[in-house]
Structure 1
Amino acid sequence: MRKGLVVALGLSFAASVALAHTGVKNMTVMKRMEAMQSMGDSTKVLGQMAKGERTFNAETARAAALAIARHAAETPVLFEERAEDPKDEAKPVIWEQFEDFATKSEKLEKVAMRLAGSVESVDDVRAGLGEIGAACKACHEVYRE
């Protein structure tokens, strides 16, 4: 049950980000959205493996986890400037609680790096994806429209 929820969360995130890109005029906001899209795409790869829709491949899983970690590490930098766009899904509270926002990004980075360094089986992907989903949700609940 939990695995399905995490996979659904990742897939819906990827789809909503793709739709949100249409009409974005502020390039800073666009860069943020592109980084989030990349994390969503990588989460989708892991989710497909976890659900058996894609053959498990440790190297591919590691690459997906590393991409998530890389974008999580750059997320605070992407949000340092308080840029806005009508299509932006970032809540203003990010800049009021920036330290917490950055801490949540760092947690996602650590979780993804741990998965990248330890994935050997589809069960590892499932466990790691659960942690990644929880880290994403913790940030999105507070900081995303």
Structure 2
Amino acid sequence: MKKATIAVTLIALGTAALAHGGVKNKDVMARMEVMKTIGDQMKIVGSMAKGQTAFDAAAANAALTEVAAQAAQIAPMFETQAEDPKSEALPIIWQQWDDFAKLASDTEIATEALIGSITTEADLAPALGKIGGTCKACHSKYRE
């Protein structure tokens, strides 16, 4: 994966953290916290891939473990159609629920398959590409 693609993925995930201020609906806030946690874990792996932090296989695999655990919570967090002006979730989620839930599951499955596979620094970019692709598939369709 190109460094530019890694940067775009990290920027997209990082912007969610800025959106949390002023959220009033507790269900929306809970969803945002799950996404923020995923973004934070992806930043750990991304910073290693970009050479900003030292490579640490255990930390990278731990981050993937947390991403998978949080990804498992995505669909359940959206079961209630909660709205808030700060939410970036599009209403189409609930109109196309089966597709949305599948895409959320794809992220969990792809990430689980990668847990333990990060043994060298060269493993980071392909892992980010796989996970980032699943995130993008959902975000491009169901997120403002």
Same fold (TM over 0.5): yes
User: Is 2:123 the partner of 1:124?
Assistant: yes
1:19 counterpart residue number? 18
Q: Secondary structure at the match of 2:22?
A: coil
How high is the TM-score relative to the length of structure 2? 0.95
Which stretch of the first structure deviates more once superposed, 99-108 or 6-15?
A: 6-15
Which stretch of the first structure deviates more once superposed, 13-22 or 127-136?
A: 13-22
Q: Distance in 1 between matches of 2:116 and 2:14?
A: 28
Q: Distance in 1 between matches of 2:45 and 2:113?
A: 14
Alignment map for 1:102-113 (pairs within 5 Å): 102-113=101-112
Q: Distance in 2 between matches of 1:33 and 1:17?
A: 7
How high is the TM-score relative to the length of structure 1? 0.95
Q: Distance in 1 between matches of 2:15 and 2:98?
A: 26
Residues 51-98 of structure 1 deviation map (CA, whole Å, 9 limit, x = unaligned): 111111111001111111111111000000000000000000100111
State the Cα distance separating 1:20 from its structure 2 match.
Answer: 0.3
State the Cα distance separating 1:115 from its structure 2 match.
Answer: 1.5
1:43 counterpart residue number? 42
Q: Distance in 2 between matches of 1:112 and 1:7?
A: 16
User: Is 2:86 the partner of 1:93?
Assistant: no
State the Cα distance separating 1:9 from its structure 2 match.
Answer: 2.6
Q: Distance in 2 between matches of 1:22 and 1:139?
A: 23
2:52 counterpart residue number? 53
* Structure 1: gaps (5+ residues): none
State the Cα distance separating 1:13 from its structure 2 match.
Answer: 2.4
Q: Secondary structure at the match of 2:89?
A: coil
Q: Distance in 2 between matches of 1:58 and 1:103?
A: 29
Q: Distance in 2 between matches of 1:134 and 1:61?
A: 18
* Structure 2: gaps (5+ residues): none
Runs of 4+ that moved beyond 3 A: none
The amino acid of 2:87's aligned partner reads D
Residues 96-139 of structure 1 deviation map (CA, whole Å, 9 limit, x = unaligned): 11111111111111111122131111111111101111111000
State the Cα distance separating 1:3 from its structure 2 match.
Answer: 2.8
Q: Distance in 2 between matches of 1:3 and 1:67?
A: 24
Structure 1 contact 42–68 (Cα < 8 Å) conserved? yes
Q: Secondary structure at the match of 2:72?
A: helix
> Which has the larger share of helix?
1
